[in-house]
Amino acid sequence: MQSAVIVFPGSNCDRDMAVALEQATGTRPHMVWHRETELPNGLGLIALPGGFSYGDYLRSGAIGANSPIMREVKAAADRGVAVLGVCNGFQLLTEAGLLPGALLRNAGINFICRDVALTVASSQTAFTSRYEANEAITIPVAHHDGNYFADEATLDRIEGEGRVAFRYGERVNGSARDIAGIVNEAGNVLGMMPHPERMIEPAHGGTDGKRLFDGLVAALV
Amino acid sequence: MKTRIHVTLKNGVLDPQGKAIHHALESLGFEGVNDVRQGKLIELDLDDDVSDADIEAMCRKLLANMVIENFEIERDHSEAAAA
């Protein structure tokens, strides 16, 4: 399956994401610079990696969300292409309007970089099919602005629609209802703050992230 | 023409930075500070013919995130008046 990683000035998890995608798909992903105006043909999966697009100078992900390639990413998402945004990629997806809500500064102010306990809130998405519902997993986080915020009506709606994919199993950053990752209404766009691409081989301390990529590719092929 | 955009967090949105500043002011012994909210100031130098509607569009599309922030536009006509 053909996949792509969108590379922004400030992306720093793009190569890790590429390794994870190559391992899962068997094919090296296209690395697409944010100034491009077209995506390669036949993509099944687009990843927005972690990092600090445009230095987070306005808000995390705000300037990157207006990069030329994001118009194409939005069009692809509307056509049903799977889009995975991790960390800064999640921030980009909210800023681009592909996912509801916003990511605020962590409640404790500190940058947080460590493994965290997550629970899989739904195994009914293409992204979480290799997990059991309510399963406890471990995935690292590394973020300053991971405090998920949405108004109560939006939170009720996404919970009611089963769109919360992952929750923190501990208080990490102040996120509303401990939300760590959500999918869009159609289920083909996932944004999450933790980094599954940093948990894909035993040397990483676990492989709980690998199952996201393997399950996703299995669901898409 | 200078135009200032004041971006502030909406009421009810947690402002950890404001809280840290508040705490620091208390640590310095200042009394009577009830709350601190931190925002940002973005200063634009605009051609005179840029419309209010365009400035508002800039705010809505990029400068403020309407999910969590409010904005106020302050156009400074004083330079033009002086000239």
List, edge to edge, every strand of the sheet that includes A82-86: A30-33, A2-7, A43-48, A82-86, A189-192, A179-183, A164-168, A112-120, A136-143
Nearest CA in chain A to B13: A149
Cβ–Cβ below 8 Å for A107 and B16: yes
Give the pLDDT of residue A221.
86
| Residue (of B1, B10, B8, B57) closest to A66 by Cα position | B57
pTM for the full predicted model: 0.95
Which chain A residues are Cβ-neighbours of B13 within 8 angstroms?
104, 149
A126 contacts A187 by C-beta, under 8 angstroms? yes
What is the pLDDT at residue A86? 98
pLDDT in tens, A44-95: 999 999 999 999 999 999 999 999 999 999 999 999 999 999 999 999 999 9
Closest Cβ–Cβ partner in A102, A107, A109 for B68: A102
For A87-135, how does the pLDDT look when each residue is reduced to its tens digit (9 = 90+)? 999 999 999 999 999 999 999 999 999 999 999 999 999 999 999 999 9
Alpha carbons A51 and B32: distance in angstroms, whole number: 40
- Over residues A200-215, the pLDDT tens digits come to 999 999 999 999 999 9
CB contact under 8 A, B65 and A174: no
Identity (one letter) of the amino acid at A59? R
pLDDT score for B81:
47
Terminal-to-terminal C-alpha distance of chain A = 7
pLDDT at B83 over 50: no
Q: What is the mean pLDDT of chain A?
A: 97
Residue B76: the pLDDT is 80
